[in-house]
Chain A
């Protein structure tokens, strides 16, 4: 079976996790490929540090492996939701330990990022735009930031976000609405400066 076989893609994470518990080495590979990068990306967007994000994601994955023998194939929990919740909680703990250090990516802040003094030569790359967004996200309250990252960047559904954040769907919707308003305010006036024009957006 190749890594891209349709049979493998169609098998759910839950089934793979049960297979993992039964000693299937293929299950370990599949779940690592599918889930570890997601745990890493969420951790990175919360912590803003590659090494720390990898530590957190590794710990979350280890807990998933250890949980495998107890996993019920017919249970309601999804491995991805469970994993991202664990990763997020570990990130929150890490942030508390480091006294609220946020994902500012070093000493960067929204004002010091490219775009503050735009020139023709300084047309922003996609990477620059991402950095501006991350800096703005880092200034949001934690729960608003996490909800927005999960919804608009990781493209999770509201119900899945509710499971990850352990809150109601209504609370997710509220966090998203408030977070987007706050984010718009932070980015107000920056869009044109950052190389976005109205005709690009249509």
Chain B
């Protein structure tokens, strides 16, 4: 003879076993929807990964900035070293020490100043 708690326990277990063995299957349509969600999500994850630029990846420069810096560099070298030349009929010009001037191109006073400086 078994005691009551043991009997109750066994009875419960029999009910549980019956429920476990009752096959509860989701529909094929459900599994298809889950699979479709998986495919969409995988595509979305891949797209997001492509959009992220990894660290250290090559970036094209800003060409405007490159041109500006180059112009400044050339002008700076030119100013630093000094050069001179002639602009058509306007007379001689020269660059030196950051001063741009020309003989015959500017008013008389400046020409005089430059001549005196030069002299």
- Chain A interface residues toward B at CB < 8 A: 20-21, 23, 25, 28-29, 31-32, 36-37, 40-41, 44-45, 50, 53-54, 57-58, 61-62, 65-66, 68-69, 126-127, 129-130, 132-134, 152-153, 155, 180, 183-184, 187-188, 191, 196, 198, 200-202
Task: Verify A196–B14 contact, CB threshold 8 A.
Answer: yes
Q: Which of these, B8, B20, B22, B35, contacts A29 with CB under 8 Å? A: B35
Q: Which of these, B14, B26, B41, contacts A40 with CB under 8 Å? A: B26
Q: A-facing mask of B14-50, CB < 8 A → 1, else 0?
A: 1110111110111100110111011101100110100
Complex Cα–Cα for A134 and B42 (A): 37
- Chain B interface residues toward A at CB < 8 A: 2, 7-16, 18-22, 24-27, 30-31, 33-35, 37-39, 41-42, 45-46, 48
Task: Verify A196–B11 contact, CB threshold 8 A.
Answer: yes
Complex Cα–Cα for A184 and B16 (A): 12
Q: Which of these, A21, A31, A126, contacts B45 with CB under 8 Å? A: A21
Complex Cα–Cα for A180 and B9 (A): 8
Task: Verify A68–B37 contact, CB threshold 8 A.
Answer: no
Query: Which partner residue on chain B sits nearest A60 by CB separation?
Result: B34
Tell whether A36 pairs with B30 under 8 Å between CB atoms, given A68-B41, A130-B19, A198-B7. Answer: yes
Complex Cα–Cα for A31 and B41 (A): 14
Task: Verify B15–A132 contact, CB threshold 8 A.
Answer: yes
Task: Verify A28–B26 contact, CB threshold 8 A.
Answer: no
Chain A contact residues: helix, strand, loop or mixed: helix
Tell whether A201 pairs with B10 under 8 Å between CB atoms, given A40-B30, A58-B37, A133-B15. Answer: yes
Complex Cα–Cα for A153 and B12 (A): 11
Task: Verify A152–B16 contact, CB threshold 8 A.
Answer: yes
Task: Verify A184–B12 contact, CB threshold 8 A.
Answer: yes
Q: Which of these, B16, B19, B22, B26, contacts A36 with CB under 8 Å? A: B26
Tell whether A23 pairs with B22 under 8 Å between CB atoms, given A54-B27, A187-B11, A201-B14. Answer: no
Q: Which of these, A20, A36, A40, A155, contacts B20 with CB under 8 Å? A: A155
Task: Verify A130–B11 contact, CB threshold 8 A.
Answer: no
Query: Which partner residue on chain A sits nearest B10 by CB separation?
Result: A201
Task: Verify B11–A65 contact, CB threshold 8 A.
Answer: no
Complex Cα–Cα for A184 and B37 (A): 42
Task: Verify A57–B10 contact, CB threshold 8 A.
Answer: no
Complex Cα–Cα for A134 and B26 (A): 17
Residues of B within 8 A of A58 (CB): 30, 33-34, 37
Residues of B within 8 A of A188 (CB): 8
Known: A23-B46, A31-B38, A69-B45. 12 other contacts (CB 8 A): A23-B45, A32-B34, A36-B34, A50-B26, A57-B26, A57-B30, A127-B22, A130-B18, A132-B15, A152-B13, A180-B12, A184-B8
Query: Which partner residue on chain A sits nearest B6 by CB separation?
Result: A201
CB distance from A1 to the nearest CB of B (A): 18
CB distance from A42 to the nearest CB of B (A): 10
Task: Verify A187–B10 contact, CB threshold 8 A.
Answer: no
Q: List 7 A-B contacts (CB under 8 A).
A: A50-B26, A50-B27, A62-B37, A187-B15, A196-B11, A201-B11, A201-B14
